[in-house]
Structure 1
């Protein structure tokens, strides 16, 4: 997991060839004019899920994990709080991993919580279970979740 500000995203480009395209999209897009949901950018290699709504609170969110995509979770309005736990430490399967959806849920509790204020991002790799939208229920959030293919070519 990585937590940083958008102006520093370039330092992570060596980790995945798709990060440069994700950064470019984050910087040039006015997310306040987009509808929530999935928006394709580069086919299945790169897309964004725009999430808008109230935080659900730490007790209501569950850890999720993905294998085919790296998440760059960018907070536009918030702040968000995201729980984190190493995937290998997750023992309580809530929803078995579905390879087609690239998604599984765990009932384990996060080991740590990170505040992700507006203008900041958190990167979650396949070995990072994460619980987004953990900010309190009085907090209205707008987030762009960039889904970057692990095997970007």
Structure 2
């Protein structure tokens, strides 16, 4: 998981070159005030989303195997919750057509402000578009980057996939 101000995206461009496509698209959304919807972006696609946040209790964690998510808050306020997938339990098994698995458990709640982004990998479970106590409005961009286009290997921790071990 990476979380930072959008203005610092260059720090991460070496490991995720497609982040540049995401930033250019966000600039286009701001400049042209693009409406909600799905748009082609680089080697992936993006959604422009607007809505009201939901309670953390109403949401489940999600993970994706085929795409990285880059979520950029443009306007309003939102909180999201992060957890390592290994620390959660499966609620709905992975659907390869929709590229989503639903999980339950608890993690760390994080406040987003306009101009911030977060990037999540397949092992990064996330609950986007939430609030602690009072619903808020938000406008955001979610860019999906195809994992097989990355310069580095990404593990999904699915059965049958060779696990990568690290020693510190």
Q: Same fold (TM over 0.5)?
A: yes
Report the counterpart of residue 40 of structure 1 in structure 2: 40
Asked whether the 8 Å contact 2:68–2:120 carries over to 1, the reply is yes
- Measure the CA separation in 1 of the matches of 2:122 and 2:22: 17
1:28-107 counterparts in 2 under 5 A?
A: 28-30=28-30, 33-42=33-42, 45-91=43-89, 93-107=90-104
Report the counterpart of residue 130 of structure 2 in structure 1: 134
Asked whether the 8 Å contact 1:3–1:116 carries over to 2, the reply is no
Asked whether the 8 Å contact 2:93–2:102 carries over to 1, the reply is yes
Asked whether the 8 Å contact 1:54–1:137 carries over to 2, the reply is no
Q: How many residues align?
A: 149
Bigger relative CO (Cα 8 Å, ≥ 6 apart): 1
Q: Does 1:10 align with 2:7?
A: no
- Measure the CA separation in 2 of the matches of 1:103 and 1:34: 26
Asked whether the 8 Å contact 1:79–1:139 carries over to 2, the reply is yes
Larger Cα-atom Rg = 2
Q: Relative to structure 1, is the Cα distance of residues 83 and 32 closer, same or farther in structure 2, using a 3 angstrom cutoff?
A: farther
Q: Which runs of 5+ in 1 are unaligned?
A: none
Query: Could you tell me the TM-score, scaled by structure 1's length?
Result: 0.89
Q: Which runs of 5+ in 2 are unaligned?
A: 151-168
Report the counterpart of residue 21 of structure 1 in structure 2: 21
Quote how far apart the aligned CAs of 1:137 are: 4.6
- Measure the CA separation in 1 of the matches of 2:123 and 2:94: 13
Quote how far apart the aligned CAs of 1:96 are: 1.3
Q: Relative to structure 1, is the Cα distance of residues 86 and 26 closer, same or farther in structure 2, using a 3 angstrom cutoff?
A: same
Quote how far apart the aligned CAs of 1:81 are: 0.5
Q: Does 1:146 align with 2:126?
A: no
SS in 1 for 2:129: coil
